[in-house]
């Protein structure tokens, strides 16, 4: 499979190079040159597979020609072997035709594990085949850092450095990163804010010689491989409630548009989907977009669902590219405009096309607590604040009740215990594998908010790029 950039000016690459590159060198994001297709019969034949077998089937057409093509099912079996629920992504029924897809049974209790556990193994295989190594650097305010660390710990060809703002992540989130004991994992507590951390990561990538010396790589959601691995659970959940014989709807709490874009890919591959409902918290840039056709940046407000506290939805560029008939030059123009003025408007025909498949709804913190309480009272299930935004959005869309509605539950309630307890009176316990999290030893290095200090640390601790 060949991959092309959404801005139309980067070289076409195969899967292995796309995996290592992350961002295209014209500033765009990679997408497959053509969408693989599954027929109704293909989908029907997938219905009895377990999650790792389905994952291998869904990923296969995207990695034709890659070193991971061979023994792909071994890779997916290994990736999901540490998940604590036998079904990997179980469905729970909330009401008639109303389902929760639980995506929090991986090692760090958020949906990011479903992609990163597989992507970590892909990095290792590709790097071993090439005899090279990479240094991953990333900034995190919460879930991404721990999921990336769990996915790359002890991998021979990878060193990982995760920057977090000292004292500004939750205790559960920090401990999930700092209690991992592996000599290729380096946690750096920066005396600064999340934005300071992110600026330093960007500066390291912008320094061409540092980037080349260290073979820097990123694992954020602009990496195509993450989207690809997320397509699997859309097909998994759709098949479980009657696809391909009837259309289904997905409600997705989203920030960067990465997760819901994976659903769109499943649809383009042939899964019948009536609607994607995009749930936002008070940082509602996407909901405002679907209401108006204009994408306008505003400041970020902290909420109870911090993993969706974003200002820019970087993966939206992929949908834009598809909706503009894959016109990379047109995408590049809109992105330039966005950079200059903080706003752009999508041409009317493309906007109307998007509305056939997408709609949005927002929920503020008071509403989030209310929904967590209602779901608990009505079903006995504890849900986390991100999932509550999804449940609300699904209901607000008022679709035909005959269409099965699948809400993606993106985090375990124990990751956000304060909000859940405030809404229900119940303190959600950590699952057994993390029950001793607060007794484990933390390991991290505190550094000043200074780029040179951080670079020096990375240089001296990376085994060798």
Ligand X SMILES: *Cc1c(COP(=O)(O)O)cnc(C)c1O
Q: Which residues are catalytic?
A: 112
Rounded to an integer, what distance in angstroms lies between the CA atom of residue 189 and that of residue 142?
Answer: 13
Q: Which one of residues 158, 308, 406, 447 is an interface residue with ligand X (CB under 6 A)?
A: 308
Cβ atoms 390, 107 nearer than 8 A: no
Nearer to ligand X, 254 or 359 (CB): 254
Q: Which one of residues 307, 323, 359, 368 is an interface residue with ligand X (CB under 6 A)?
A: 307
**Quick one: which of 4, 6, 49 has its CA closest to 232?**
49
Rounded to an integer, what distance in angstroms lies between the CA atom of residue 105 and that of residue 110?
Answer: 7
Residue 390 Cβ, how far from ligand X at the closest point, in Å?
9
Q: Which one of residues 6, 173, 187, 254 is an interface residue with ligand X (CB under 6 A)?
A: 254
Taking CB under 6 A as the binding criterion, the range among 34-42, 195-203, 252-260, 369-377 that sits at the site for ligand X is 252-260
Residue 16 Cβ, how far from ligand X at the closest point, in Å?
23
Residue 278 Cβ, how far from ligand X at the closest point, in Å?
9
**Quick one: which of 115, 342, 338, 108 has its CA closest to 220?**
115
Taking CB under 6 A as the binding criterion, the range among 200-208, 248-256, 398-406, 449-457 that sits at the site for ligand X is 248-256
Nearer to ligand X, 121 or 411 (CB): 411
Residue 27 Cβ, how far from ligand X at the closest point, in Å?
19
409 in contact with ligand X (CB under 6 A): no
φ/ψ of 140, rounded to 5, equals -140, 145
Residue 386 Cβ, how far from ligand X at the closest point, in Å?
4
Q: Which one of residues 76, 283, 410, 424 is an interface residue with ligand X (CB under 6 A)?
A: 410
Taking CB under 6 A as the binding criterion, the range among 73-81, 207-215, 255-263, 451-459 that sits at the site for ligand X is 255-263
Angle of helix 72-79 relative to helix 51-59, nearest 10 degrees, comes to: 130
259 in contact with ligand X (CB under 6 A): yes
Nearer to ligand X, 152 or 215 (CB): 152
169 in contact with ligand X (CB under 6 A): no
Taking CB under 6 A as the binding criterion, the range among 181-189, 206-214, 247-255, 436-444 that sits at the site for ligand X is 247-255
Q: Which one of residues 200, 319, 411, 447 is an interface residue with ligand X (CB under 6 A)?
A: 411
Q: Which one of residues 57, 386, 395, 405 is an interface residue with ligand X (CB under 6 A)?
A: 386
Residue 210 Cβ, how far from ligand X at the closest point, in Å?
27
# residues contacting ligand X (CB under 6 A): 16
Residue 181 Cβ, how far from ligand X at the closest point, in Å?
23
223 in contact with ligand X (CB under 6 A): no
Nearer to ligand X, 72 or 319 (CB): 319
Residue 314 Cβ, how far from ligand X at the closest point, in Å?
9
SS (H, E, C) the chain: CEEEECCCCCCCEEHHHHHHHCCCCCCCCEEECCCCCCCHHHHHHHCCCCHHHHHHHHHHHHHCCCCCCCCHHHHHHHHCCCCCCCCCCCEEEEECCEEEEECCCCCCCECHHHHHHHHHHHHHHHHHHHCCCEEEEEECCCHHHHHHHHHHCCCCCEEEEEEEECCCCCHHHHHHHHCCCCCCEEEEEECCCHHHHHHHHHHHHHCHHHHHHHCEECCCCCCHHHHHHHHHHHHHHHHHCCCCCCCEEEEEECCCCHHHHHHHHHHHCCCCEEEEEEEECCCCHHHHHHHHCEEECCCCCCCCCHHHCCCCCCCHHHHHHHHCCCCHHHHHHHHHHHHHHCEEECCHHHHHHHHHHEEEEECCHHHHHHHHHHHHHHHCCCCCHHHHHHHHHHHHCCCCCCCCEEEEECECHHHCHHHHHHHHCCCCCCCHHHCCHHHCCCCCEEECCCHHHHHHHHHHHCCCC
255 in contact with ligand X (CB under 6 A): yes
Q: Which one of residues 6, 135, 141, 256 is an interface residue with ligand X (CB under 6 A)?
A: 256
Nearer to ligand X, 407 or 410 (CB): 410
Q: How would you classify the pairing of strands 405-409 and 98-102? A: parallel
Q: Which one of residues 106, 138, 258, 404 is an interface residue with ligand X (CB under 6 A)?
A: 258
Q: Which one of residues 143, 284, 309, 317 is an interface residue with ligand X (CB under 6 A)?
A: 143
Q: Which residues in 111-140 contact ligand X (CB under 6 A)?
A: 112
Taking CB under 6 A as the binding criterion, the range among 47-55, 208-216, 251-259, 375-383 that sits at the site for ligand X is 251-259
Residue 110 Cβ, how far from ligand X at the closest point, in Å?
4
Rounded to an integer, what distance in angstroms lies between the CA atom of residue 408 and that of residue 398?
Answer: 17
Residues that bind ligand X (CB under 6 A): 110, 112, 143, 221, 253-259, 307-308, 386, 410-411
């Amino acid at each position: 499979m060949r991959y092309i950039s959404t801005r139309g000016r980067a070289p076409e690459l195969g899967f292995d190079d796309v995996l290592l590159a992350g961002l295209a060198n014209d500033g765009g994001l990679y997408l497959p040159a053509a969408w693989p297709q599954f027929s109704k019969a293909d989908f029907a034949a997938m219905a009895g597979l377990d999650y790792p077998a389905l994952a291998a089937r869904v990923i296969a057409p995207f990695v034709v020609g890659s070193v991971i093509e061979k023994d792909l099912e071994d890779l997916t079996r290994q990736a999901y072997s540490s998940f604590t629920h036998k079904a990997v992504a179980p469905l729970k029924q909330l009401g008639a035709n109303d389902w929760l897809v639980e995506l929090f049974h991986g090692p760090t209790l958020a949906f990011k594990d479903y992609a990163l556990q597989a992507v970590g193994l892909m990095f290792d295989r590709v790097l071993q085949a090439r005899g090279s190594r990479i240094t991953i650097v990333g900034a995190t305010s919460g879930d991404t850092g721990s999921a990336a660390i769990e996915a790359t710990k002890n991998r021979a060809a990878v060193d990982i450095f995760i920057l977090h703002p000292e004292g500004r992540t939750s205790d559960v989130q920090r401990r999930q990163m700092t209690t991992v004991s592996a000599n290729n994992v380096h946690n750096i507590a920066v005396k600064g804010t999340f934005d300071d951390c992110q600026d330093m990561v960007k500066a390291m990538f912008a320094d061409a010689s540092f980037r080349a010396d260290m073979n820097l790589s990123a694992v954020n959601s602009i990496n195509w491989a993450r989207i690809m691995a997320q397509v699997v659970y859309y097909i998994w959940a759709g098949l479980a409630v009657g696809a391909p014989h009837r259309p289904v709807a997905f409600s997705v709490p989203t920030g960067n548009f990465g997760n819901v874009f994976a659903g769109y890919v499943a649809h383009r591959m042939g899964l019948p989907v009536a609607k994607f409902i995009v749930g936002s918290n008070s940082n509602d840039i996407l909901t405002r977009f679907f209401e108006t056709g204009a994408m306008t940046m505003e400041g970020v407000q902290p909420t109870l669902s911090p993993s969706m506290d974003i200002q820019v939805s970087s993966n939206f560029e992929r949908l834009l590219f598809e909706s503009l008939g894959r016109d990379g030059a047109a995408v590049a123009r809109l992105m330039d405009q966005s950079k200059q003025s903080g706003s752009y408007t999508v041409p009317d025909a493309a906007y109307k096309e998007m509305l056939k498949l997408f709609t949005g709804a927002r929920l503020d913190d008071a509403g989030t607590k209310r929904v967590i309480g209602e779901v608990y009272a009505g079903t006995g299930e504890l849900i986390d604040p991100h999932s509550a935004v999804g449940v609300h959005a699904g209901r607000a869309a008022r679709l035909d009740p005959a269409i099965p509605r699948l809400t993606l539950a993106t985090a375990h309630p124990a990751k956000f215990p304060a909000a859940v307890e405030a809404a229900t009176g119940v303190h959600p316990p950590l699952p057994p594998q993390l029950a001793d999290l607060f007794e484990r030893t933390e390991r991290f290095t505190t550094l000043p908010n200074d780029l040179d200090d951080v670079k020096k640390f990375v240089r001296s601790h990376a085994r060798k790029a």
